[in-house]
Amino acid sequence: FGWLLPVLAIQLSYIWIGKTGVPGLAGTAGTMLSMAAGMLAVGISEETAARGLALGAVMRRHPWAGVLATALVFGLWHIGNGLFFGKTWDETWWQVLSATTFGVCFAGARLMIESVWALAFLHGLGDWTQFLSPGAAPVWYQIAVMAFELVWGILLTAVAVRRDRHAGEGGRG
């Protein structure tokens, strides 16, 4: 699970990065607890669907295609925020891009650790810290996170594919 430590650091970083420059989380204890439960449910449902069922169906035979396809579908799911939840289309397309790179990172992590449960927790934690942080992260930070997620997801996928190929050859050579 050491491969997840950089992802954990990013999820927690939203506590300290906010447009107001004020670190922390905003809300009452009740709000924070109810949001924690809600965001954990989101993490479980989205990770089970995207990285559990969808990626799980193709990850052994077509890991690279599975990572790309599930990341794109995961990103496009977020169009609903513009259609149904009143987000502007600028915000929505930004979130689609962000969710796609997040999807690459978490798909690579799924291949590495072969489980969705830690990912569900990290997903929920990230949503929770972002919702309760005092303002959106600056654009430069969001771009840096997306770049990291893309690179880290590709690296994790490459390492997992190599590990699985080596294991499939009986550990030879």
pLDDT at 54: 92
C-alpha pair distances (Å), 44 with each of 30, 40, 47, 121: 21, 6, 5, 7
pTM: 0.90
pLDDT at 119: 97
Which residue matches tokens 């690179």? 151
Which residue matches tokens 């922390």? 24
DSSP track, 139-165: HHHHHHHHHHHHHHHHHHHHHHHHHHH
How many Cα neighbours within 13 Å face the side chain of 40? Answer: 9
pLDDT at 19: 54
pLDDT at 149: 98
Average pLDDT of adjacent 10-residue blocks, the chain of 173 residues: 91 78 76 94 96 90 96 96 91 95 98 96 95 83 96 98 84 47
Identify the three-state secondary structure at position 173: coil
pLDDT at 172: 44
CA angle 33, 5, 26 (to 5 degrees): 30
What CA–CA distance (Å, rounded) separates 127 from 49? 17
